[in-house]
């Protein structure tokens, strides 16, 4: 259930909702962090749920002296953009109820579309290993103009594989190993006729900051969240703003007293 920070309740009708899947390497969450930080988005509420492990911490973007919790909603009305950031894992057996509640909120809010940023483990076939590490999925209700735009970008759709490997007459379905709630969100959105795109990257766990940066730059080809500078053709990457909290992603370092 969405709980606004203040009155009036923000208008979400016609907005694009961006959210992560809690997946391998936390790439989706890191990518969402970059978008919130770069666009300096304002927190407008939180998603109250008993499906996520409770947590509380300091503001990860250091913009105000306030606490943050496990599921918060940010908004940028001028761009018709809304972001849901998830910061903890799901309680066992509660990931599907969360997806159902979330999509009910999306439906009642009349959001124009949902974009899920995710990642998948490198359980790839030879073709996938030799091609782009990015894949997308679109629900059937995604508007035709979006489908045409994605085709014009030459993005690769997530391939289907046998539901039961080794059985020749087995049906084909989408496998997203390590993708968390990605597949559930996609299937539920398809059945509820919610326009959704899943954008994911094949990754290995470790320092996944480069994966998050490449994922948002890939998304930026379509959404144009930020535009490259026309004054400096030597720039190899877009100017994403790194959140201050990322300094502590790997702890605070070894104490000098050890040496």
Q: What is the pLDDT of residue 169?
A: 66
What is the structure's pLDDT at 238? 65
Lowest mean pLDDT of 65-69, 89-93, 196-200, 212-216, name the range: 65-69
Closest CA to 158 of 106, 215, 198: 198
Q: Is the pLDDT of residue 18 over 90?
A: yes
Distance CA 28, CA 215 (A): 8
Assess whether pLDDT exceeds 50 at residue 235.
Answer: no
Whether pLDDT at 1 is above 90: no
Residue 251 is predicted with a pLDDT of 67
CB 56 within 8 A of CB 64: no
Element housing 177 (H / E)? none
Output the pTM of the full model. 0.89
Q: Domain-by-domain residue ranges, the chain?
A: 11-227+238-258
pLDDT higher than 70, residue 236 = no
Q: Which of 37-41, 51-55, 168-172, 186-190 has the lowest mean pLDDT?
A: 168-172
Report how far residue 203's alpha carbon sits from residue 136's, in angstroms, rounded to the nearest whole number.
Answer: 15
Quickly state the pLDDT bin for 205 (edges 50, 70, 90). confident
Q: Give the model confidence (pLDDT) of 126-162 as tens digits.
A: 666 677 899 999 999 999 999 999 989 999 998 887 7
49-107 pLDDT tens trace: 999 999 999 999 987 778 899 999 999 999 999 999 999 999 999 999 999 999 999 99
Q: How far apart are the first and last CA of the chain?
A: 51
CATH code matching the domain that covers 11-227+238-258, chosen among 3.90.1150.10, 3.30.379.10, 3.40.50.10900, 3.40.50.300 = 3.40.50.10900
């Amino acid at each position: 259930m969405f709980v606004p920070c203040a009155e009036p309740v923000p208008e979400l009708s016609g907005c694009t909702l961006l959210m992560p899947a809690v997946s391998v390497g936390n790439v989706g969450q890191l990518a969402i962090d970059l978008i919130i930080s770069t666009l300096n988005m304002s927190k407008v509420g939180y998603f109250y749920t008993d499906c996520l492990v409770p947590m509380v911490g300091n503001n990860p973007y250091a913009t105000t002296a306030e606490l943050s919790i496990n599921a918060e909603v940010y908004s940028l009305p001028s761009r018709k953009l809304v972001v849901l950031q998830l910061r903890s894992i799901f309680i066992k057996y509660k990931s599907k109820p969360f997806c159902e509640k979330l999509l009910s909120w999306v439906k009642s809010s009349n959001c124009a579309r949902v974009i899920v940023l995710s990642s998948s483990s490198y359980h790839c076939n030879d073709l996938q290993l030799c091609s782009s590490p990015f894949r997308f999925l679109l629900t059937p209700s995604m508007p035709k103009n979006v489908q045409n735009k994605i085709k014009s970008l030459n993005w690769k759709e997530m391939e289907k594989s046998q539901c039961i490997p080794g059985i020749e007459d087995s049906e084909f379905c989408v496998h997203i190993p390590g993708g968390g709630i990605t597949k559930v969100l996609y299937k539920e959105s398809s059945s509820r006729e919610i326009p959704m795109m899943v954008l994911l990257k094949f990754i290995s766990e470790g320092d996944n900051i480069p994966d998050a940066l490449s994922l948002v730059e890939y998304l930026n080809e379509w959404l144009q969240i930020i535009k490259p500078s026309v004054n400096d053709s030597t720039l190899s990457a877009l100017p994403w703003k790194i959140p201050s909290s990322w300094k502590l992603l790997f702890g605070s370092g070894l104490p000098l007293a050890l040496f």
